[in-house]
Amino acid sequence: MSDAAPRRVALIHGFAATPAVWDPVVAELDGVAVACPRILGHGGDAAGVERFDDEVDRLAAELAPEAPWVLGGYSLGGRLALGLLVRHAELFERAVLLGAHPGLQDEGARATRRHADAERARRLEGEGLEAFLAAWDAQPLFERRPTPPREGLEAAGLARALRVLGLGAMPSRWGDLAQIAVPTDYAVGAEDLKFRGLLPRLRNAWPAVETHVVPVADHDVVGCAPGAVAALLRGEPGHASLADASP
C-alpha cells in the first residue's frame, strides 16, 4: 500500500443490497480496519429514523467512536455519505463517492420522485420482494453488474427505505458542495450515461472534487470494478484503470 493508505475505511452500501457487496473491495484493503454499516430498511435497528438526515446522523453516531475514517459510499450509500460530509465532516479524512446524486433542487421534481417511490413501495409490499427485485435488476443501468448479496432483506424494510431515503426525500446538497473541505474523489461507470452527464455540473458546483470514469462499468461501480474502487480508497487512483473525466 502507498503512504496514503487509510487506517480505517467506512463503506456504505446501496439500495437493495447488504454490506457484503463490499467484500471484493475489502479483500484488497489488506491491513485496513473496515466498517460496513447496514442502512435503514436493510436489516438491523434504525429506530427513530423518520427523515433522510435522521439516517445520516444515525450513521455518524455509529462511526464517531472510531473516527477519523476514509468514507466510501455507492448510489444511495453515496447520497448518505454526501450528507455525512456536509453534516459531520470532522469524522472523515477523505471520501470516495460512487454514482452519488447530490439531490433534486426543484420542488416539483422532488414531489414527483416522492410519488414514484411511494408507488414502488406499495408495489413492493403488494407483490413481494422477489418480483420487485427482478424488476429492479432488469433496469438498463445494471446491465453489467453481478447480482448483489441480499441476505436478510425484507419487503417491509425496503419499502421504508424507499419512502424515507428516496431521492425525492433527500435534501438537495448542490448548494453545499463548494463548502465541503474533505478531499473527495467522485467516480461513475463509463456506461452510466445519466451520471456521466452530471459530471460537468458537479465539477462546476464543486471545484475541489476529483472526478473519474471507470471503464467497463455500469451504475454499480462496486460490483463491476472492485479493484478500481479499492485503489481509490487506498488513495491510488492511478492504479485503478480509470479514464480521464475531464471535459
CB 40 within 8 A of CB 15: no
Which domains does the chain possess? 8-244 (3.40.50.1820)
Sign of the four-CA dihedral 87, 31, 22, 242: positive
Residues 6+ apart with CB under 8 A from 21: 13, 14, 74, 148, 149, 222, 223
pLDDT in tens, the chain (247 residues): 344 568 999 999 999 999 999 999 999 998 899 999 999 999 877 888 999 999 999 999 999 999 999 999 999 999 999 999 999 999 999 999 999 999 999 999 999 999 999 999 999 999 999 999 999 999 988 988 889 999 999 999 999 999 999 999 999 999 999 999 999 999 999 999 999 999 999 999 999 999 999 999 999 999 999 999 999 999 987 766 777 665 5
Paired residues of 72 in beta bridges:
11, 96
What's the rounded Cα separation, in Å, for the pair 74 and 239? Answer: 20
